[in-house]
Amino acid sequence: MLKFKIIQELKPNEELLEIIKNYNYTIKNGKIKHLIATNALYLFNSINYQIENMYKFG
């Protein structure tokens, strides 16, 4: 069985958050994992930004 260790949590881009602050959005953070017993690194679930309503009136 493959075993992974999280070595870094990816954080959202602050500049992008400033641009989309007036919209409803969700963010899924990503992780960089190390495959134990190797030198391989894997990117799991890169950061996803999902804007729920593009047009804000008012």
pTM of the model: 0.55
What phi and psi values does residue 33 have, to the nearest 5 degrees? -120, 150
Provide the 3-class DSSP secondary structure of residue 32: strand
pLDDT band (50, 70, 90) for residue 32:
confident
Note whether residue 56 is domain-resident: no
Note whether residue 57 is domain-resident: no
Residue 15 pLDDT > 80? yes
Domain count, the chain: 1
pLDDT at residue number 55? 61
Domain extent at residue 12:
4-51
Apex 1 CA angle, 10 and 42, nearest 5: 25
Note whether residue 24 is domain-resident: yes
Confirm if 39 and 11 have CB atoms less than 8 A apart: no
pLDDT at residue number 19? 85
Rounded mean pLDDT, 6-32:
85
Note whether residue 41 is domain-resident: yes
Cα separation of 23 and 25, whole Å?
6
Residue 58 pLDDT > 80? no
Residue 17 pLDDT > 80? yes
